[in-house]
Structure 1
Amino acid sequence: MSEVLTPPRPVPDTPQLLALSRLDGLLTQAVEVLTDRWAAQSAADTLPGLHISAAEARHLLRLPPGRPLLDGAPEGPGERPGWDDITAGHGGWSWLRTRHGLTDLELDLTLMALAPEVDLRYERIYGYLQDDMSRRRPLVGLALDLLSRTAGERLAARAVLASDASLLRHRVLDLVPDPLYVAPPLLAHFLVLDEQITDVLLGQSGLDRRLAGCCRLEVPEGDPALGTDPARLAEWAGTRGPLRIHVKGPAGSTRGRPARDLALGLGLALLTLEPGGLPDDPDSAADILAVAFREASLLGALLRVDGIEHLRRPDDDRGARERILGDLLAEHDGHVVVEGETDWTPPAQHPLGFVPVPVPRCDLSTRQLLWERELAAHGVGAAPADLHDLAARFRLGPDRIADAALTAVGEAGRRAARVTDRVPGTPTGLPGAPTRDELFAAARAQSSHRLTGPAQRVRTVHGWDDIVLPPDCAAQLTEVCARVAHSGQVMDDWGFARTLSHGRGVSALFTGPPGTGKTMAAEVIAHELGLELARIDLAGVVSKYIGETEKNLDRVFTAAADTDAVLLFDEADALFGKRSEVREAHDRYANIEVAHLLQRMEQYEGLVVLTSNLRRNLDEAFTRRLQFIVEFPFPGRVDRERIWRVCLPSGAPRDAALDFGRLARDFPLTGGSIRNIVLHAAYLAASANTAIGMPHLLRATRREYQKLDQVMPGAGPDGDERG
């Protein structure tokens, strides 16, 4: 008989060492038993573990089925620590046992999987016991061998590794199939401990690595009364059992304040989960969700789900992620705050008792105060009129205002640095105040990234000096700008919002022949207001499939709702056409689409501009609900001459003999055509290395008439211009 091994006896000053000493005693006994059984075989076998002899096969057939390794073996030397002793404190083992109600057998399986994470010598021991040094992690078969004394115990122990048992259901362990098998049985699966459980049992702190892309941990500071009614906060804090709150409010608003205030009032850390950062694969997303909930439990933190609408993906029709969330919420014993932009109904498979808490946007005066406060924190200020316009144009929340102010101050500093580099001796040291343009650019940047898909950003370069319109038409555009600029004052300060049954948005129809400046007018308005202009790509909105057009429009308006952008439906006849008499099912659905569009336009709080070449093509229901209908007429001779002059930049070289009066008199064209002609003439002059002259303009005019499939006035039989 070989030498009897005595298990090492480390000083059990921690639950980790005490648990490992329990495992060492078990492994010592197993090594002794196997050493005796394999002694004779090892002497005759020159390739142990690589082949099986006939004698060994006969020996295996004589063994009772399901016999554990330690069946009939005497207890090992010394006394193994019990789990009551190991979990007597408040460490990770105690938490794991209490949190998931694990039995001694389940704790032993967990310990076997943990050991190689502490000391790699256990890998060699497992390889020896499994007669294969390539298997360095414990297989289920080895674990059941070591933890069972009879065949009946061994069979019964398999139940703790069922999919609905605690170890797998709570993701404490994972069973990884042995790659040597095509279809491995349960016994040929490795026991792999979850990373989070490993960190807990080893006493390692910090947010789980898998949560880095979708979670953040913070300890709220400040006064909870700033964001939430103190009486309601006390009511929440005194609620018996776990508290469930659903906060509805726009992104970037104060909707995150209730969670912070509640965590601060309860003295808890705040763990924020952003569903948009979850993996696309449902199984991987489920794993991360489970890790996040367990992390909140481990840290004793309040769990905040920010942006619940991002939990369901377009390919997730059955709501798999939401069902998983419902299961986790039902099992979680901590407080949870769910936030989103729209109404949300919890999964119906569990009673969760969510308390709805609506959070409106900050009003105009609050936003102006926030801008003033954030700029003052950086030691700068801005004109009150600029702050008022910022607050009126952009409905940003506190967090986004703080970020925009920081961006604007940084841009002002870079501008000052460029001036210093150009002008030596310029005093430095104090940050310069941001200009109005820098403030507006920083505010636009906070939400412009949400303009994706059918909503395409348009770079606005045209101002009032670039567009030529009749006086009344120009006056109407000015009134559109005033309507948007003073919306906060009229609706909020003067109280008109309380008297309106419809939305507070502004809608305008620009109608007239092609090329008369309708799209340019939308650019001018957006540029004047300092807002983004989003042109809606109708090809990406209108669908032949029933219900898809409404879904596409919902996505457009939802994305634009948080951007304060001007929405431009260019050539909107196809989208906003007349509702037809119901003669077949398709007509009924087409009319539903029109009604849906009307509803979304009224709900949108910004400016919506529709352009149409033929006003009569639009449904009367639209025209009744439009605040502005602006007619863009075919330009007369005087306006055409102004357009010719405006279209030619001041920096472009021009021939002194240019006759804009003749061009306006002889060629009745729209502004769009004139702009095309001037640009084409500029390229003709550049290729000839001369200034832009009448020959270039006349030749470009002939090309434009060819595009329009019309005869150029004054052209000869061959199509060339005369004189």
Structure 2
Amino acid sequence: MARRRESDPQPDDPFRGLYLSDETVDAALATAREPFDLWPAGPAGVGPEGVGPEGTGPADGGPADGRRADGRSERDGPEGIRLEGSDRLSALADAAGLTPLDEALLLVALAPDVDSRFEQFYGYLNDDVTRRRPSIGLALRLCGLPEAAASGRLRLAAGAPLVDLALLRVDSPDRPVLSRGLWVPDRVGGWLLGVDAPEPSLIGLATPLTPAGPPPTGAAALGRALARAGARLAYLRERTGGSATALAVAALDDAGRAALGVDLPRLAADPQPAELATALVREALLTGAGLVVGPVQGDEPWAVWARLTTGEVPVLAYGTQPWDPAWTARAPVQVEVVPLSAAERAAVWRSALPDGLVNGLDPAAATAQFVLGAPAIRRAASVAVQLATAAGEPVGEAHLRAGARTQNAAGLERLARRIVPEVGWDDLVLPAPTLSLLHELAGRARHRDRVLREWRMRPGGGRGHGVTALFAGDSGTGKTMSAEVVAGSLGLELYTVNLATVVDKYVGETEKNLERIFGEAAGVNGVLLFDEADAIFGKRSEVRDAHDRYANIESAYLLQRMETFDGLAVLATNLRANLDEAFTRRLDVVVDFPVPDEAARRALWDRCLGTRAPRAPDVDLDFLADAFELAGGHIRSAAITAGYLAAGADRPVGMAELIGAVGREYRKLGRLTLESEFGPYLTLAT
């Protein structure tokens, strides 16, 4: 009540609140307020020259030393608001390129958010108690400018930093210009008052990023371009295994700036992306950060790029797409982000794994076949440590590889079937030359970084750094299982491409489907298996009609795409002769899978029956291997069928079940059951 009586000289006026009398305003002006500083302590600021109420600045003949006629500093702002030590305002003015007039307009609009008396003052001056913020006309008059002055109006129009950076908002565009209201967004006002809470609308969209581990190659050069050359837009084109975000964060750190990561697809999908983009630029401006924006998809609205490149905030965009100059009026510095070298990967692994948990294991060598960037390595190391800790043992090769696999993108699993390898080299029954070639294929995957990148054994020509193999052989000879073994030995997963999702009767769709598969495979450390590859990698033929021409276009596209693939791909076919010769030239390893001989068949029968299934004493593996010329896949199928027959009869697996299973397999293959093959067991096969 005492405060009300102090500020309201006419408390019994029945019309109080509907108008402001001169006495009420005088009382508010006379009310003592404890002096306070809006900003943290700092060096005394020098006020905006040429700006002051009713033309008191030097431009109008006022004092030239930054002091107003009433003795207050030009930095002091409106009556009762002391801005001495306004380091945040000075920093904002420098970063946004604000003029002294801009600063004065900003303070006039901010006043009601700092001192509630200004709501009354502005209502009084606006001659409308409901309008408690300054209008454009009032703000110009308070800054000593005529209402029609173009120099003042331009500072509150599009193209001026106050408006473009959303440091100041203009209300009611349908009103006459001079009566439009001005207000300062809460984030700007709060920051100027020392509140560092982020913009609520940006939570989940923008994330502070900090440098971790050794800086990637090229970070220092990009940092110099940002700090000294004045570069404000850069595009980091990321290759598989590159770390664009790590490079961007390290470059900004080198330039003396923080980094704010922006989820560009989420920003582009927002109903009001331009408004959010402006808020992002403003947030970076207030916090002295640069924006790390990506991944670029190429279909972002033009307004997003226009807003992101407003002002002097550094924007470092990244993606795998080539940069299109039409996206922005500002030309970017373009940087190719190459994969980490072996030494850089080793350094990142060492910095990410706690000392004493690895026990002499070289994590970089154990995961050499994985193409990972620095952030992915750190996440993989964290997973490996958690797995090892849960198991109560030191970090081992299995933990490291399991952690690396968690960094695989999920997109490929929608286009191909993922197989977690459960077989090893001991499960293969193959001739020595075939096994040797499979080991060579695994070795190529392990050492390709050293051979192709460090030693540059495949320079030029736009060739990728992938490894491609052909597995050729009859059905059931072990091609798919061998691919699974190779993947398992490398600690990778196997992805088998379903041809039903690839081949399309419409022209051009097959290539699009394959491009999606290859594109998703680039983000996955795995083995890509194209089974029945001759269906899509067939020979080009003489053009006799339109069908031949388009079929040849598909093959030509595949030839080019396979050559630029950076992963590990296996083509499996039953008909090697049907593959185009140009594919053969581009293959790194060709493995022929022969039909197993008698010794191999005996080993296959023994392996497929396993050690857990009970065997009857009459099982004769030598007879099975000698009598029946079956491939490994058919032997496995027969052994499983025999297991079901034995389980149904509740007895061990015997010759009756095995011969019956072979007879069923013969009928599936369309082969006759001859006495010369089945001998005394012929009756069991029918």
2:296 corresponds to 1:309: yes
Correspondence for 1:333: 312
Q: Deviations over 1:345-378 (max 9, x none)?
A: 34345133x2222232222344345435544635
Correspondence for 1:395: 371
Kept after mapping to 1: 8 A contact 2:92/2:285? no
Correspondence for 2:611: 650
Correspondence for 2:644: 683
Correspondence for 1:296: 284
2:503 corresponds to 1:542: yes
Instruction: Name which of 184, 205, 225 aligns with 2:196.
Output: 205
CA distance in 1 between partners of 2:185 and 2:214 (Å): 38
Kept after mapping to 2: 8 A contact 1:550/1:596? yes
In structure 2, the CA distance between the partners of 1:172 and 1:453, relative to structure 1 (3 Å rule), is farther
Question: Mapping of 1:362-511 within 5 angstroms?
Answer: 362-372=340-350, 374-375=352-353, 377-384=355-362, 387-391=364-368, 393-416=369-392, 432-447=393-408, 449=410, 451-492=412-453, 494-498=455-459, 502-511=463-472
CA distance in 2 between partners of 1:484 and 1:458 (Å): 19
Correspondence for 2:275: 287
Kept after mapping to 2: 8 A contact 1:139/1:191? no
Unmatched runs of 5 consecutive residues or more in structure 2: 1-12, 40-76, 142-146
SS in 2 for 1:516: coil
2:238 corresponds to 1:249: yes
Letter in 2 for 1:641: R
Correspondence for 1:613: 574
Kept after mapping to 1: 8 A contact 2:220/2:251? no
Superposition deviation, residue 159 in structure 1: 12
CA distance in 1 between partners of 2:102 and 2:455 (Å): 67
Letter in 2 for 1:237: A
CA distance in 1 between partners of 2:237 and 2:263 (Å): 15
Kept after mapping to 1: 8 A contact 2:38/2:82? yes
Superposition deviation, residue 205 in structure 1: 0.8
Kept after mapping to 2: 8 A contact 1:382/1:434? no
Letter in 1 for 2:204: G
Question: Mapping of 1:43-54 within 5 angstroms?
Answer: none
Q: Deviations over 1:136-174 (max 9, x none)?
A: x9899x98999999xxx99x9999999999888655689
Correspondence for 2:9: none
Instruction: Name which of 661, 680, 696 aligns with 2:622.
Output: 661
Kept after mapping to 1: 8 A contact 2:639/2:658? yes
Superposition deviation, residue 327 in structure 1: 0.7
SS in 2 for 1:610: strand
Superposition deviation, residue 634 in structure 1: 3.0
Kept after mapping to 2: 8 A contact 1:378/1:409? no
2:539 corresponds to 1:578: yes
CA distance in 2 between partners of 1:513 and 1:84 (Å): 92
CA distance in 2 between partners of 1:601 and 1:711 (Å): 43
In structure 2, the CA distance between the partners of 1:203 and 1:357, relative to structure 1 (3 Å rule), is same
In structure 2, the CA distance between the partners of 1:230 and 1:192, relative to structure 1 (3 Å rule), is closer
Q: Deviations over 1:630-659 (max 9, x none)?
A: 222333443322221111121222222212
Kept after mapping to 2: 8 A contact 1:404/1:446? yes
Question: Mapping of 1:348-359 within 5 angstroms?
Answer: 348-352=327-331, 354-359=332-337
SS in 1 for 2:535: coil
Q: Judge which range, 337-346 or 327-336, deviates more.
A: 337-346
CA distance in 2 between partners of 1:583 and 1:139 (Å): 81
The alignment of Structure 1 onto Structure 2 pairs a total of residues equal to 609
Q: Judge which range, 667-676 or 200-209, deviates more.
A: 200-209
Q: Judge which range, 499-508 or 211-220, deviates more.
A: 499-508
CA distance in 2 between partners of 1:370 and 1:670 (Å): 47
In structure 2, the CA distance between the partners of 1:592 and 1:708, relative to structure 1 (3 Å rule), is same
SS in 1 for 2:334: strand
Correspondence for 1:26: none
Question: Mapping of 1:191-270 within 5 angstroms?
Answer: 196-197=187-188, 199-200=190-191, 203-218=194-209, 220=211, 227-228=217-218, 233-234=223-224, 236-239=226-229, 241-250=230-239, 253-270=242-259
Correspondence for 1:640: 601
Kept after mapping to 1: 8 A contact 2:532/2:573? yes
Correspondence for 2:512: 551
2:2 corresponds to 1:13: no
CA distance in 2 between partners of 1:223 and 1:495 (Å): 24
Q: Deviations over 1:109-154 (max 9, x none)?
A: 9669x86x999xx9xx99xx9x9xxxxx9899x98999999xxx99
Letter in 2 for 1:396: L
Superposition deviation, residue 497 in structure 1: 3.4
Question: Which ranges of 4 or more aligned residues in structure 1 deviate by more than 6 Å?
Answer: 83-88, 96-112, 137-140, 142-149, 156-169, 172-177, 184-187, 189-193, 221-224
In structure 2, the CA distance between the partners of 1:333 and 1:164, relative to structure 1 (3 Å rule), is closer
Letter in 1 for 2:656: P
SS in 2 for 1:496: coil
Kept after mapping to 2: 8 A contact 1:289/1:325? yes
Letter in 2 for 1:407: V
CA distance in 1 between partners of 2:337 and 2:205 (Å): 24
Instruction: Name which of 563, 567, 585 aligns with 1:602.
Output: 563
Superposition deviation, residue 615 in structure 1: 1.9
Kept after mapping to 1: 8 A contact 2:240/2:566? no
SS in 2 for 1:510: strand
SS in 1 for 2:534: coil
2:588 corresponds to 1:627: yes
Superposition deviation, residue 533 in structure 1: 1.6
CA distance in 2 between partners of 1:162 and 1:245 (Å): 29
SS in 1 for 2:195: coil
Q: Deviations over 1:370-409 (max 9, x none)?
A: 435544635533345x743423x12323333333333323
Letter in 2 for 1:537: N
Letter in 2 for 1:721: L
Superposition deviation, residue 610 in structure 1: 0.5
Kept after mapping to 1: 8 A contact 2:223/2:255? no
Kept after mapping to 1: 8 A contact 2:309/2:315? no
Kindly report the root-mean-square deviation, in angstroms, between the aligned alpha carbons of the 2 structures.
Answer: 4.8
Question: Mapping of 1:103-142 within 5 angstroms?
Answer: none
Kept after mapping to 2: 8 A contact 1:15/1:87? yes
- Percent identity between the two aligned chains: 35
CA distance in 2 between partners of 1:147 and 1:365 (Å): 61
SS in 2 for 1:524: helix
In structure 2, the CA distance between the partners of 1:86 and 1:602, relative to structure 1 (3 Å rule), is farther
Letter in 2 for 1:693: G
Q: Deviations over 1:565-598 (max 9, x none)?
A: 2111111222212223334555444333322222
Q: Judge which range, 215-224 or 577-586, deviates more.
A: 215-224
Letter in 2 for 1:275: L
Correspondence for 1:564: 525
SS in 2 for 1:497: coil
Normalization by structure 2: what TM-score?
0.73
SS in 2 for 1:338: strand
Kept after mapping to 1: 8 A contact 2:35/2:80? no
CA distance in 2 between partners of 1:608 and 1:270 (Å): 37
Kept after mapping to 1: 8 A contact 2:527/2:570? yes
Superposition deviation, residue 485 in structure 1: 3.0
CA distance in 2 between partners of 1:170 and 1:230 (Å): 29
Correspondence for 1:73: none
CA distance in 1 between partners of 2:326 and 2:79 (Å): 38
Superposition deviation, residue 612 in structure 1: 1.4
Letter in 1 for 2:318: E
